[in-house]
Structure formats: C-alpha cells, structure tokens
Amino acid sequence: MMEYREFGKTGFKVSIIGMGTYYDPSFIILARLFNLYRNRDLKVSALRKGIELGINLIDTAEIYETESLVAEAIEGFRRDGLFIATKVWPTHLHYDDVLKAAERSLKRLRCSYIDLYQIHFPNPRVPLEETMRAMNRLVDEGKVRYIGVSNFSLEQLKKAQGASPRHEIVSIQIEYSLLKRRVERSLLPYCEKNKIAMLAYRPLAHGRLAKASGKLKTVIEEIGLKYGGKTPAQIALNWLVNRSRIVFPIPRASRPERIVENSGATGWRLDEEDMEKIFESCEFDSKTT
C-alpha cells in the first residue's frame, strides 16, 4: 500500500517513493539527434504502472529528453492528483532563458503548470538573483507552483533562499543512498530543521544496492527474510524513507516490474536495530564513494 507525506512546506501529499526519468546519455543523444526514444513504450508503461499503484511524484528535466514521455504516461489520469517536477539546465539560467525554458517544458509536458521547477545545477556565471527573479515570476503567473534546486551545496542553497524574496525554495534534489551519505553531515539536518524536502536520486546507487555484495549482501538478505522476503532494493529504499521524513527517493522508472518492486518498499518499516545493522554493514563503502 502506497504511503504519502507532505512535500516540504507545500501542503501537497506525495508518495514517499517517486519515479525518476533519467536513463542514460545514449538515450538523450538518440532522442535529441534522431528523435528515437529507446524502449519508449516500456518506459511509458512503467510510469503508468507507477501511477496506477499510487505513485504520484514524477521527476524529469529538459535535458533528459523524457518530458514528452511523461506527458504520454500521465494522459488520462487526474492532473491535480500528480506532482510533476522538471528542471532547467544551467545554460538557461539567465532571466529570459528561464522563462523560455519553462514554456518549452510546459509544451512538452502538455500541462498548464509545473508543480516543481528546479534549477538542475548551479551556474556561477549567472547571478542567482537573476535566475530566482525569473523563477518567482513563473510562480506569480501560475505556470509553476513551487521552486526547487538540484545538486546545490548547503551554502548554495542558502544563497538561493536569500535570492528568492517572494517564494520559498521547497526542495533540493541530491544524490543520496546507503552508499552515498555525505548529505547527512550538514545538508540533511538543515533541510529537516527548515522543512525542505529532499529528492534522493540514484537511491539504489546505480543498481549496486539491488545487487549488493559482501557483508552488506548478507545483512540485507537476512533482514529481507525477516520482513517477509523483501528484496535488497526494497530494503535500501525503505532505509531511506525511514531515515528521514523529508526524504523522497526517486528510483528510475524503466520497467513495470521494477516499479512494482519499488512500490513494495512502502507500507512497512525497518526497526531501529535493523536500520543500524544495515548502516554498519555498508559504512566502509560510504566512506569510499
């Protein structure tokens, strides 16, 4: 059974597991140069299966070349029940470029508004104040509901907050998994204190956690049996959502069966003892990644 939590300070309840739509560089190149979308139907089916299972959080970006896939996948579903997030590329962060990029994303998504519009990466060559003025205007005009950032450090997040006078930054997207826990040093505590949602990309560490090895494999498999045969991927995702109420993992949506598996990471909770066992079993890995 899918679970939902309030997304930051938005008041909107989103599924604790979302769906990411970044595939790989070759997918982007083929789509951009030749209008070829590898396994398009399979990816759309995966997204639709997720929505049917109650996943309402979908993340995309203009650079991914998947906004049109998301548009196809959400067709026929209630738009106001979905939370669609996309991102503007760092070469489009000047004021007019942000506005134009948002319009292009809206057109590809076939939507009248974007729920969460994120700065994909910071660009030191463009003043944050200029970018945030454009982001604020998009919210004022109703084309964007909420503003987020991605791949920002804590210091950059604070600067972006200071540069956004009218509308708060409600989220940050960052790499976070059992094997990548740098965010826990300062960024996660800050976001928890300020109720800023954290979208965790690569929550399965490029599949490494779905096919764990060594001590981590042994521990995860033992714990999986304790919880009725949960898979390593389900254990890894449950660890993340159990770690903090502001964290929303967005594993890649590539196949319907993977979506079914990922959705099985909800509706139950690892206990504190098992959380600690998993933490200890992969601590060495986290220090070396």
Catalytic residue ranges: 64
Return the number of other C-beta atoms located less than 10 Å from residue 107's C-beta: 12
Return the number of other C-beta atoms located less than 10 Å from residue 179's C-beta: 23
The residue with tokens 């449950």 is 238
Amino acid present at 7: F
Q: How far apart are CA 64 and CA 29, in angstroms?
A: 9
Query: In sequence order, what E strands does the chain have?
Result: 4-6, 13-15, 19-20, 57-59, 83-88, 114-119, 144-150, 169-175, 197-201, 247-249
- Phi, then psi, of 88 in degrees rounded to 5: -100, 135
Q: Which residues of 248-285 are buried (b: 16+ CB within 10 A; e: fewer)?
A: bbbbbbbebebbebbbbbbeeebeeebbeebeebbeeb
Spatial CB neighbours of 229, under 8 Å, sequence gap ≥ 6: none
Q: Which residues of 17-48 are buried (b: 16+ CB within 10 A; e: fewer)?
A: bbbbbbbeeebeeebeeeeebeeeeebbbbbb
Report the number of secondary-structure helices (H) and strands (E) in the chain. Answer: 12, 10
**Spatial contact of 41 and 29, defined as CB atoms under 8 Å apart:** no
Residue from 49, 54, 151, 141 nearest 103 by CA: 141
